[in-house]
Amino acid sequence: MTSIYTIEKTKKITFIIMSCLAITFTFTLIYFASIEGISATVLKEVEAVISDEEIDNLITDPVIQTLLQEESQDISAINLNDSDLPLKSKGQVVKKISENFSIKEIQVVTSKVKKGITPEDKSEIMDMITNRLSEEELTAIKVIAIQEMTKK
Tens of pLDDT along 95-117?
887 788 777 777 777 777 777 77
Q: Rg of the chain's alpha carbons, rounded to an integer?
A: 23
Task: Please tell me the predicted confidence (pLDDT) of residue 48.
Answer: 66
pLDDT given at position 45 = 66
Q: What angle do CA 147, 149, 151 make, to 5 degrees?
A: 70
Per-residue pLDDT of the chain (152 residues; tens, 9 = 90+): 557 777 788 888 888 898 888 888 888 777 766 666 666 666 666 666 666 777 777 777 777 777 766 655 666 677 777 777 888 887 788 788 778 877 777 777 777 777 777 778 777 877 888 888 888 888 888 788 777 776 65
Please tell me the predicted confidence (pLDDT) of residue 88.
Answer: 85
User: CB atoms < 10 A from the CB of 33, how many?
Assistant: 10
Q: What is the pLDDT of residue 36?
A: 64
pLDDT number for residue 65: 72
What is the predicted pLDDT for the residue at 71? 55
| pLDDT computed for residue 38 by the predictor | 63
Distance CA 118, CA 115 (A): 10
Q: What is the DSSP string of 5-51?
A: HHHHHHHHHHHHHHHHHHHHHHHHHHHHHHHHHHHHHHHHHHHHH--
Q: What distances in angstroms separate CA 9 from CA 18, 53, 56, one per listed residue? A: 14, 69, 69
